[in-house]
Amino acid sequence: MIVEVSGLSHQYRAQPVLHQVSFSVPEGRVVGLVGPNAAGKTTLMRALVGQLVPTAGSIRILGRDVRREPKSLREVVGYLPERAEVYPELCVWEYLDLFAAIAGHRGPERRKRIDAALQSAGMTARAEAATRELSKGLRQRLALAAILMHDPAVVVLDEPTDGLDPESRQSLLNEIRRLANEGRTVFLSSHVLAEVEQVAQTTLILVNGQLRANEASETETQPVYGLRVRGDLGSAAATVSAHADVAECTTADGGLIVTLKAGVADAAGPAAALVACGFALVELSEQKDSLRRRFARAVGRTVEELS
C-alpha cells in the first residue's frame, strides 16, 4: 500500500473535524474524496500532505511518516490546494522554471522538463504569456503541471475542477486519469459526484469527519433493483419497505428503487411480496449502486432529496 492512514483524528478548538479515519490505498489509483460541506475533506487532504498536524493517528506515504519526515514527504507528494493561485507577474515558462529548479533539474534537463510540462498542459504556444492572462482552467492546468515537476508518486488535488467550464473540467479529469495510468496515486476531492465517479476507482465518503464508505464497503455493495408496478406506488413502497431483505425503498420516475441488505442475492423476495399483495409487476431490473445513491445513504438522505 502506498498510502496508509490509521486512526486519524483532528480537532479545531475542541471541535472534532476528523474522527478515527483509517484507510489504505495501493499505487496507481484515483481516490475520490466526497462529502458535504465541512465534512473534513480539506483537513484530511492537508493532513495527507503534512500541512496540518493531526491530533491523533498516523499517515504513512511510501513508508514515510508524514509527521516525522515532512521534508522527505514533500519529495514524493504533489499538492494542489483549493483555490490555489499561480504567480500573476510571471509568465508561463517562468512559473514552470521555478518548480523545475526547486525539483533539482539543471541545464538542458530543466529545459526538457519545462517543454514536456508545457506540452502536457497544452500550453506550448503560450509559454511566454503572463499567467494573469490565462483562463482559470489553464491556470489550474499550469499549477498541476508545476506540482508534477518533481515526479511525485502521490498527487493530492483539493477541488481542482471548482469554477471551471465543462471543457476545462473534462480536460483536467483526463489529465488525472493519465496520472493514474502513469502509476501515480491521485486523491481528488470534489462536490461533483459525477466527475468523481468518472475517474475514481475508490471513493471515500466523509460525513462529519467520519469515513462512511471506502473501498472495503464498496466490495460489499448492497444490491439495488428498480421495480415498476401497476397500482398505488405509495402502498407498493410500504409493502417492499416492510420486507426483511430490504434496506431502503424509495420512489423515483414512477417506479421503486429498492436497496437490498448486504448479502441478499436478489430482489426475488420483495418482488414476490408485491405480487402477493396484488400488485402487477411490470419490470424488475438490477441497477448499478451509483455513487450518488451511496452518498445519499451515507448522509442519511434520499437521492431525490439530493437532487
For other proteins, the closer of residues 52 and 224 by Cβ is 52
Q: Which three cell numbers stand for residue 159?
A: 477541488
Q: Is 121 in the site for other proteins (CB under 8 A)?
A: no
**Distance of closest approach, residue 103 Cβ to other proteins, in angstroms:** 7
Within 10 angstroms of residue 282's Cβ, the number of other Cβ atoms is 10
For other proteins, the closer of residues 85 and 182 by Cβ is 85
Report residue 22 CA to chain centroid gap. Answer: 16
Q: Which of 184, 186, 192 is nearest to 164 (CA)?
A: 192
What DSSP designation does 126 have? Answer: G
**Distance of closest approach, residue 74 Cβ to other proteins, in angstroms:** 4
Beta strands in 246-300 (DSSP E): 246-252, 255-260, 280-287
Q: Which of 182, 248, 215 is nearest to 32 (CA)?
A: 215
**Distance of closest approach, residue 85 Cβ to other proteins, in angstroms:** 4
Candidate residues 38, 56, 102, 282; the one interacting with other proteins per rule CB under 8 A: 102
Q: Which three cell numbers stand for residue 10?
A: 483532528
Q: Which three cell numbers stand for residue 268?
A: 426475488
Where do we find the cell 466526497?
Answer: 34
Candidate residues 67, 74, 177, 292; the one interacting with other proteins per rule CB under 8 A: 74
Q: Is 186 in the site for other proteins (CB under 8 A)?
A: no
Q: Which stretch binds other proteins (CB under 8 A): 101-109, 268-276, 281-289, 296-304?
A: 101-109
For other proteins, the closer of residues 81 and 209 by Cβ is 81
Candidate residues 77, 118, 176, 257; the one interacting with other proteins per rule CB under 8 A: 77
Q: Is 247 in the site for other proteins (CB under 8 A)?
A: no
Report residue 264 CA to chain centroid gap. Answer: 28
Binding mask 20-59 for other proteins (x = CB under 8 A): --------------------------x--xxxxx------
Q: Which three cell numbers stand for residue 97?
A: 522554471
Q: Which three cell numbers stand for residue 106?
A: 539543471
Please report, as ranges, the residues that interact with other proteins according to CB under 8 A. Answer: 46, 49-53, 71, 74-75, 77-81, 83-90, 94, 98-99, 101-104, 106, 143, 146-147, 150
